[in-house]
Amino acid sequence: MPERPVVIGVDSSTQSTKAAVVDAESGTLLALGRAPHTVTGENGARETDPEIWWHALAQAVADGLQQAAVPPAAVTGIAIAGQQHGLVALGADGRPLRPALLWNDTRSAPQATALTAALGGPDAWLARTGSVPVASMTAAKWQWLREHEPATADRTTAVRLPHDFLTERLTGTAVTDPGDASGTCWYDTARAGYDPELLALLGLDPALLPEVAPTAATRAGGLTRGAAETLGLPPGIAVAAGTGDNMAAAVGLGLGGATTGAGLLDHPVVSLGTSGTVFAATRTRPASPGLSGFAAADGGYLPLGCTLNCTLAVDRIAALLDLDREDAAPGDGLVLLPYLDGERTPDLPHATGLLTGLRHSTTPHALLGAAYEGAVFTVLRALDELLAACGLDPADPAVRDRPLRLIGGGARGRAWTETVRRLSGRPLVVPAATELVALGAAALAAAASTDTDPVALTHAWGTGEGETLPPVARDEETWNRIEGVLDRAARTLLS
């Protein structure tokens, strides 16, 4: 009896690589291989040698295949979903010239500000890219490299995003997709292509960039013999163009595709990970200076708000207090904005953590709870901005009563889940699937090998389905208290 076809979906994130070995017909997760990354830097710097990603990919794939106990010959496709925005500068030999500048490297904040002004302000950028440059965006990082390491910029013969770098290693072909390309701030989301004027502003030769495939599920090529030997997979299997991690998570949830109508599709998504993100699929191109107006993996739109400080920041507060992450109580009048790495939404790259409201009666548990509240408030306020950008009134009961899909590592934590419920007042849907980025990438791999719609596949697989938690009364007092402190702090930082 022939082996059932298997695909591999890869989540190459900031901290690690995960390789999901998935039954291509049922969507069953057979195994999840893992390998860690190393992130270095201080004082705003965050870097990783891209070769670490390649070695981690090989290790994670081998681990996954061993766990799944399936023969490599059963694998029919592979796709990479990677952390967005990272700048990979390659030399003439195709190797990295320096460690990649990661999305959460905030050293490029001055370059982001200068680029915004150089084009005529935020509205000019929104009209072209759907996003305003912030420190996270690749364009700001390229400009930083030009200014601080001009010799490296001059030697650069290819510029890649993290997932592009890995896909090119798999196929030998330089290719990206609309979703991840839209996070560069040199891709025009309205015209679906690189913007020549922006590239000229950045001094970036378009020949250095990969071709943009029509969708993330487009077959970028076959697995080369060299890559096949490294990964222990059959040569020639389908390699999808792949995409960014947020776009892959949307595919894993069944967002987008042919079913998308005008406005939002289904309920919006809150993702609690190293960063906190909110996003939703739409066919309407949004434009808001506080959001990233990304393209989706299928060429639609995936407006997204991103906060730098989420689970990692709250875990740091828990460690400082010598508490387990679940040992939290409501903030009891405290406000703790855990902006330990600056912040992206709101755009306060030089911010630090802020605590106010301490009393003799303050407990460590309330202090930890205040950190949760500060992080969740920041994410949910970004959600309100996203809804408004899509033409919806966040205060409208019909909108406010719409369920949120809660994903990411934080979705598995009681303290995170209960804080989101309390500050949002919304019902939550917590999908049973825990590796939505990798599962979305697996759907892209399956689609590339069979020429099917990846979102239709994830609907059939049921990866977006899960438990529904009913709403609780919204904690308006805590919301208003945090909002007042944040607004005052922002005015001080921006003055």
357 by DSSP, 3-state: which? coil
Q: Name, in order, each residue with C-beta under 8 angstroms of 325's C-beta and a sequence gap of 6 or more.
A: 314, 315, 318, 368, 413, 415
Per the residue annotation, which of 245, 298, 341, 475 is the catalytic one? 245
- Location of structure tokens 């998935």: 22
Helix (H) or strand (E) holding 353, with range, is: none
Q: What is the DSSP string of 105-150?
A: --TTHHHHHHHHHHTTSHHHHHHHHSB---TTSHHHHHHHHHHH-H
Q: What is the DSSP string of 240-286?
A: E--EEHHHHHHHHTT-SGGG--SSB-SS-EEEESSSEEEE--BSS--
Give long-range contacts, CB 8 A cutoff, 24+ apart: 42-47: 44/105, 44/106, 44/107, 44/109, 44/341, 44/342, 44/349, 45/105, 45/107, 46/101, 46/102, 46/103, 46/104, 46/105, 46/106, 47/98, 47/99, 47/100, 47/101, 47/102, 47/105
DSSP letter assigned to residue 463: T
Sign of CA dihedral 419, 420, 425, 430: negative
The burial class, CB within 10 Å (0-12 / 13-18 / 19+), for 196 is exposed
Q: Is 245 a catalytic residue?
A: yes
Rounded distance, CA 212 to CA 225, Å?
24
Nearest C-alpha neighbor of 240 from the set 259, 223, 258:
223
φ, ψ for residue 101, nearest 5 deg: -80, 120
The answer to whether the beta carbons of residues 377 and 482 sit under 8 Å apart is yes
By annotation, the residues acting in catalysis are 245
